[in-house]
Structure 1
């Protein structure tokens, strides 16, 4: 059922570096035609760093790990491409549907194919006002039972960051800052919250991955929180002002549940004149570069 591309399969069989990439940013995160341009750019970034990219999606009911150019074009341009979390995968397979994979679905399929390193933008997490809504991303539960290293820029700043960190601790998911003792805030280099561990090289990250295996630890993820460079982050004052306005607008319009995140993200893009999107892309590019270096260090053994 799982289709692994020839390029990815050959790399895995040869013990070469492979990096998993999600497809939601292609289908739902960027406007056309920039989405395809970014997808190709990210794959090229992985290759230039000496690793093989494995963009993951479901096409016509077949989960695919590694996409050809025409398949990337389908994800970027085809109307009706669904957004699939890991809970949706059996339904999409049975229905013969096509969809872009979120963090949770990408991590699950990557691990199933034998990949250990995954690059994304920011994780989902615990939503604000959780005590009233009980709204928490499926990413957290999936990462609590999946052995994969996720390179990300922390969690989206629209979320409850301290509650998310607490939840990750409760679930037993290890979190380390890359070159920092502060937890990144997606658009921001520093969310205002610390991390307990700092890793300073791809080799150190690979050592932690090997220690996970040697200790026969629980099958949980390793989160490598890689901050967006300060020069490329969203201006913190602008971020604070627009996010406060966005939360007020969301409440005023009575938006709740799954509608909150897309509303807030869209509000940030529109009211920062696209600066939040550029910070998002800067974070993704940095995460992809780092993930390729980590995958290479892991492959070297």
Structure 2
């Protein structure tokens, strides 16, 4: 069994049966500049604590899988250079070779499951990239959702993706896609994508019961809970849509490929929106943290 280092806070929560919410670390290393990345990470953790749960930020530090980071470790990771971006394909190699890496959605789900954590709050999942019919660029997050029994709370899939194809792949792999409090599948910065969500639930308790029922039935995989961004922070589709298209065109012109695509697009969109996309991103992550804590509390109560 892999050696996992638990922070004192997470170790205490595991011992007492307190509700835990996993958090990824690529938002710290690849999503925002320092010091805003660390400030945001601390704010997300504080939000989960305020909602009666315990945050567990996950990362690989010097070859050791950490579930929960101390304040000093969070600060160090936030300023580290050349941190690997880890998914299912490379997390084991990073640990084996003594590397340092930040976890994506897929890698965070794997680590959370190893640690017995059933809920994970993030910004948006990866999915099918536009043009995937020729590039075959499909995020490992989708297969992880079909494989690993963790409930993932996100503001849908990132809006830079092909959302119809992303929903199709999730459906093919039997992943429940649950819109929270609305019928429309949210589109990250926008509350609505124009695509109907396969399922709708209006309470954390219902989502927790659905997770328990899947376990009781022996069904593999997790759940995607699509939680719309708070209305006051959303960027309307008619505003963000042309900006995304321009960013995609620029990425293609520069030959940006693979793991470099998403950070490039997010940076382009940040500059094109004068920072509004980052403000929205922080708001939706905090919103997802609140819902994730509610689901974790409901599961802990069972």
TM range (shorter): over 0.9
Q: Is 1:8–1:53's contact at 8 Å kept on the other side of the alignment?
A: yes
CA deviation map 1:79-123 (0-9, x unaligned): 232211122111111111111111111110000100000000000
Number of residue pairs aligned between Structure 1 and Structure 2 = 300
- Structure 2 unaligned blocks of 5 or more: none
Residue 162 (structure 2) pairs with residue 163 (structure 1): no
Q: Distance in 2 between matches of 1:191 and 1:184?
A: 5
Structure-1 residue corresponding to 2:241: 240
Which of the numbers 73, 80, 83 marks the counterpart of 1:81?
A: 83
Compute the displacement of 1:173 (Å).
0.9
> Is 1:292–2:293 an aligned residue pair?
yes
Counterpart in the other structure of 1:278: 279
Aligned pairs for 1:212-223 within 5 A: 212-217=214-219, 219-223=220-224
| Partner in structure 1 of residue 256 of structure 2 | 255
Question: Does the aligned pair in 1 maintain the 2:211–2:222 contact within 8 Å?
Answer: no
**Aligned alpha-carbon RMSD (Å):** 1.2
Runs of 4+ with >4 A deviation: none
2:166 and 2:269 map into 1 onto residues whose CA distance is 21
Q: Distance in 2 between matches of 1:84 and 1:239?
A: 28
255-264 or 235-244: which moved more? 255-264
1:182 and 2:220 equivalent? no
Contact map agreement 1:75 1:99 (CA 8 A) in 2: no
Scaled by the length of structure 2, what TM-score is found?
0.96
Distance 1:114 1:77, change over 3 A: same
Q: Distance in 2 between matches of 1:259 and 1:81?
A: 13
Q: The residue matched to 2:195 in structure 1 has which SS?
A: strand
SS in structure 1 of the partner of residue 194 of structure 2: strand
Match of 2:28 among 26, 29, 39: 26
* Structure 1 unmatched runs, 5+: none
Q: How far 1:257 sits from its partner (Å)?
A: 3.5
What displacement does 1:278 show?
Answer: 1.1
Q: State the partner residue of 2:111.
A: 109
